[in-house]
Chains A and B, each alone.
Chain A
Amino acid sequence: MKLTANEFKASFQQFVEVIENEKDYLCELDRKLGDGDHGVTMSIGWQAVNEKLNNELADETDCGKISSTIAMTFLNAVGSSVGPLYATGFLRGSKAVAQKSELTDEDLTNFWIAFINGVKERGQSKVGDKTMIDTLEPALLALEANFAETQDFVTSFEKAVEAGEEGMKSTIDMVSKLGRSSRLGERSKGAQDPGATSAYLLLDTFHTCVKQHQS
């Protein structure tokens, strides 16, 4: 397949909308585990990104530039812990798609592999810690395995989204080990991790958009 720079941008614009719709839900999840602001934080960051996509990046066709601008815009608008995590993901991803105005199956796969590895490296957390890594790590493994077999991004990413969803749901029964919610101990059980949830939404939205452009 070929995904154009405009279609690449459109998928993130779609994510801006998803975050606005799910903002309250994400805050609600966060209230059970932290300070209740994850939806607000994501909204602040993605609104700033939206602003860039609609203005400075409106005519930009270099996917690397688009991704690195998303990284720095999100980081500067948000700070927090999601700022550096997502920013590192988009910065690493930008290297995989640098100076490309059209993305092949391989480019897209490399983008997401670099993205997830970047987040993992910055956050230093592992599966079972009840963080966004519980969504991203299984998604990464599914993407790598399926792409090696099929060389098809869309079907491989579909598997990644499914694995990510399972990972997200697995956080419900986990005890937090990192971040603010770790102080809750056993009391953190029963609530789905908000970071794992928004990470799943990002993957799911990207998949939905790419699928649309493919057909």
Chain B
Amino acid sequence: MKKLINDPKYVVEEMLDGYVKAHPTYIRRLPENDRALVTARKTVEGKVGVLIGGGSGHEPAFMGYVGDGMADGVAVGNIFASPPPAPILEVTKAIDKGAGVVYLYGNYAGDVMNFGMAAELAEMEGIRVEMALTTDDVASAPKEEKQKRRGIAGELFVYKMAGAAADQGYNLEDVARVARKTNEVTRSMGVGLTPCSLPQTGEASFEIGDDEMEIGLGHHGEPGVRKAKVAPADQVADELLNTIFEDMPVEEGSEVAVLVNGLGSTPHMELYIMFRRVEQVLKEKGITIYRSYVGNYITSLEMGGCSITITKLDDELKKMIDHPVDCPMFVQK
């Protein structure tokens, strides 16, 4: 697989170098740890700190979401691997403004362990920490084992709502509550068309035939729950939506946020064709799309395919999703 890189060993460092130099008014790297990035903007005393993080290779997630109205800092891991506790702790110390810090991350074994260890260390330093996990991927575990599910593109909405809540002056418990509530009403379902390859190995992350797709694929290139023959976009969108609605019924008259997220190499043309069908289906069901997002928000290097995310909104979450955002890779006015 061809890539525009230098030494595969230094892809994460070189990406971060480029990132902080491209956006100096947004982001700065902490001298204590190369993998600890915080907002360059002035943060308000007494505001709850919002910390996100996860492996590299998901850009614009997670580093792209540090800025006004979203996260105050990010801990960056190796490719598709959780960051260790050290950068998480450094970011925590830098963004705590006396009101505590909320950790937002996907429910991956590595993230749970590393963020958990960092939280213990932060509390030893007298910083209050709350954690909210994202578990929106319907395909990653059956409904009876919902607590095992992992976070995928729905994480964007969790950051969005929690970031807004912190910006609007909510306290630590309430920011965490908003994050958890968002996760409760969020479901995602993905489809993979082509694999990605890690810079270090150059090998495809999974094998898939030219005429096949993986339904329910995770964003680390893990195989899906079922292989199928590639079908027209409308049919694929219907299957993804059906799975979501079977898991989380959405009543007629509800308002939702929709995200059609590209995994890295799928063109906007295809993402909008998928969105077109999502809009048709929701309309038929009498569900109103309050806000929609289409694009590459949480990717997997150059993986092909996309996911659909539905979040049910109430008045509080509508207030949060409308809140303005200004990040290097995500702006909402």
Are the chains A and B members of one assembly?
Answer: yes
Task: Give the contact stretch, choosing among A7-15, A76-84, A136-144, A148-156.
Answer: A76-84
The distance in angstroms between the C-alpha atoms of A78 and B141, with both chains bound, is 26
- Is the pair B222, A185 in contact by a Cβ cutoff of 8 Å? no
Contacts of A85 in B (CB 8 A): 113
Contacts of A81 in B (CB 8 A): 82, 108-110, 113
- Nearest to A185 among chain B residues (CB) is B225
The distance in angstroms between the C-alpha atoms of A78 and B35, with both chains bound, is 12
The total number of A-B Cβ pairs within 8 Å is: 107
- Is the pair B84, A36 in contact by a Cβ cutoff of 8 Å? no
Interface hits, B196-218 → A, CB 8 Å: 198, 200-201, 203-206, 216, 218
Interface hits, B241-266 → A, CB 8 Å: none
- Residue B233 at the A interface, CB < 8 A? no
B76 to chain A minimum Cβ distance, whole angstroms, is 9
- Residue A122 at the B interface, CB < 8 A? yes
The distance in angstroms between the C-alpha atoms of A39 and B220, with both chains bound, is 16
- Is the pair B222, A180 in contact by a Cβ cutoff of 8 Å? yes
Given contacts A35-B221, A79-B114, contact A40 B108 (CB under 8 A): no
Pick the residue among B85, B140, B216 that contacts A75 (CB under 8 A).
Answer: B85
Main secondary structure of the interface of B (DSSP, over half): loop
Interface hits, B24-76 → A, CB 8 Å: 55
- Residue B81 at the A interface, CB < 8 A? yes
Chain A 165-178: CB-based contact to B (< 8 A → 1; otherwise 0): 00000000000001
- Residue B78 at the A interface, CB < 8 A? yes
The distance in angstroms between the C-alpha atoms of A80 and B82, with both chains bound, is 4
- Residue B328 at the A interface, CB < 8 A? no
B32 to chain A minimum Cβ distance, whole angstroms, is 12
- Residue B289 at the A interface, CB < 8 A? no
Interface hits, A180-196 → B, CB 8 Å: 180-185, 187
Chain B 215-233: CB-based contact to A (< 8 A → 1; otherwise 0): 0101011111100000000
Given contacts A81-B108, A81-B109, contact A35 B84 (CB under 8 A): no
The distance in angstroms between the C-alpha atoms of A34 and B203, with both chains bound, is 13
- Residue A2 at the B interface, CB < 8 A? no
- Residue A66 at the B interface, CB < 8 A? no
The distance in angstroms between the C-alpha atoms of A39 and B198, with both chains bound, is 12
B314 to chain A minimum Cβ distance, whole angstroms, is 30
Pick the residue among B83, B198, B203, B220 that contacts A180 (CB under 8 A).
Answer: B220
- Is the pair B108, A37 in contact by a Cβ cutoff of 8 Å? no
Main secondary structure of the interface of A (DSSP, over half): helix
B60 to chain A minimum Cβ distance, whole angstroms, is 19
A194 to chain B minimum Cβ distance, whole angstroms, is 13
- Is the pair B206, A31 in contact by a Cβ cutoff of 8 Å? yes
- Is the pair B198, A183 in contact by a Cβ cutoff of 8 Å? no
- Is the pair B77, A183 in contact by a Cβ cutoff of 8 Å? no
Contacts of A41 in B (CB 8 A): 78, 81
- Is the pair B218, A31 in contact by a Cβ cutoff of 8 Å? no
Pick the residue among B77, B113, B205, B224 that contacts A35 (CB under 8 A).
Answer: B205
Contacts of A77 in B (CB 8 A): 84
Contacts of A181 in B (CB 8 A): 222
Chain B 106-141: CB-based contact to A (< 8 A → 1; otherwise 0): 001110011001000000000000000000000111
- Residue A27 at the B interface, CB < 8 A? yes
Contacts of B170 in A (CB 8 A): none
Contacts of A83 in B (CB 8 A): 81-82, 84, 110, 113-114
- Residue B271 at the A interface, CB < 8 A? no
B116 to chain A minimum Cβ distance, whole angstroms, is 8
The distance in angstroms between the C-alpha atoms of A181 and B225, with both chains bound, is 11
- Is the pair A44, B78 in contact by a Cβ cutoff of 8 Å? yes
Chain A 18-50: CB-based contact to B (< 8 A → 1; otherwise 0): 000000100100010011110111001000000
A-B contact pairs, 10 of them (CB 8 A): A27-B203, A31-B203, A36-B203, A44-B78, A79-B81, A80-B77, A80-B78, A85-B113, A180-B218, A183-B216
